[in-house]
Amino acid sequence: MAATGMVPADKSAFVLKRETGDLAEGAAKLAGEVGSTAVEALLAQANRTAKSKGAGAAMGSMRPRPAEWYAFDDKDQDTADWYPQGLTGSDDSGNLGVPAFLVSWYFKPRAGERGIRVSFLSPTSLRYQHALLVVARPDGSYGPIDIHAGGIACHGDLLYVADTTRGLRVFDLNNLLDLRTAQPDLGDGNRIGRHGGRLNAFGYRYLVPQTDFWKVAQAGPRFSFVSIDRSGATPRLVTGEYRDNDPGGWVGRWDLELAGGEPADAFIMGHADIQGAVSQGDRWYLSQGAGSTANGSLLVLDGEKLETRPFPIGPEDLTVQGGRLWSVTEFRNKRTIFGVGL
């Protein structure tokens, strides 16, 4: 095995196949009834405020500390129900119209499943707002999505969300729906779907229904994180697998728009506990976790060279924005979006 641990793998093991089914029809039905809004409009009235360089416990022993980081508000810091996982941004999208970060969260309790959500955060105002991701059906019904959502990436208006055992779910941000355009209130905060003539979404104002699905062609590959490599002439989608205490996790790159389903290349990373990965050509950045109390690491792999850099506690998915490498930290009272030099 090379010193970096990045060893070419059989691409055919990671083929994806498109299975849209009735997802697009269901999303269109719901969007037609509720009406869509823009990310810029959502951020203009966002109901939560992040704090610059808050939740400093997330940095642990990291020296030097990041040049900038944003902490979620006290309620989102303290909750044991929701955990942030995936991260992408307006640079990845190129189409949001306003600087923004997007963060995926999964609902941890086993009972009373509430699915997954995405936070839209403005690095300019530090205001942010949650939106619930749902599956809608042609009959007008809709419900939560019970997955880990360990990584997300945005390309144009399409948001790719990692579904650990199934592949990649796709959401069209043109279908960012504001329930207040359809009814004066947000319905029953303990229910989702249609009840008593009202639309309910556990009290969330905004919904984004799934529109597409790229599923694994054969069982086995696990999808834990997602990013976009925009360093070349053609952007590529990067995704791969977290393995606890096991260096055998894989990573692969697909030409967007995933035409044919087979990755352009794939590798075995040779490093355990990788929570996020992004590439810039032959240079790789890997986010490595070490539990809820110890600092993680940033592994920078360039050919045969491996560099290990200090990282905060609980680093997850990776993205590149504004010339920096950004990640999100997941643990209670240590939840931040932070950026470091490439």
- Statement: residue 188 has pLDDT above 80: yes
Let me know if 189 is exposed, middle or buried by CB neighbors in 10 A (0-12, 13-18, 19+).
Answer: exposed
- The per-residue pLDDT of the chain, averaged, comes to 95
- Spell out the domains of the chain, with CATH numbers in brackets: 7-341 (2.115.10)
What does pTM read for this prediction?
Answer: 0.97
User: Considering only CA atoms, which of 102, 69, 115, 105 is closest in space to residue 85?
Assistant: 105
**Structure confidence at residue 184 as a pLDDT band (50, 70, 90):** confident
**Structure confidence at residue 323 as a pLDDT band (50, 70, 90):** very high
- Statement: residue 141 has pLDDT above 50: yes
Q: Give per-residue pLDDT as tens, 90-107.
A: 999 999 999 999 999 999
Q: What pLDDT shows up at residue 303?
A: 85
Strand duo 16-18 + 206-216: pairing: antiparallel
Phi-psi region of 11 (alpha: psi -120 to 50; beta: other; left: phi over 0): alpha
- How far is it, in rounded angstroms, from Cα 88 to Cα 147? 18
- From residue 177, give the alpha-carbon distance in Å to each of 20, 92, 277, 318: 20, 22, 30, 27
- How far is it, in rounded angstroms, from Cα 171 to Cα 27? 9
Which residue is it, tokens 């309620």? 75
- Statement: residue 2 has pLDDT above 70: no
Q: Give per-residue pLDDT as tens, 28-37.
A: 999 999 999 9
| CA 67-88-115 angle, 5° bins | 125
Q: Give per-residue pLDDT as tens, 273-285.
A: 999 999 999 999 9
Q: What pLDDT shows up at residue 111?
A: 76
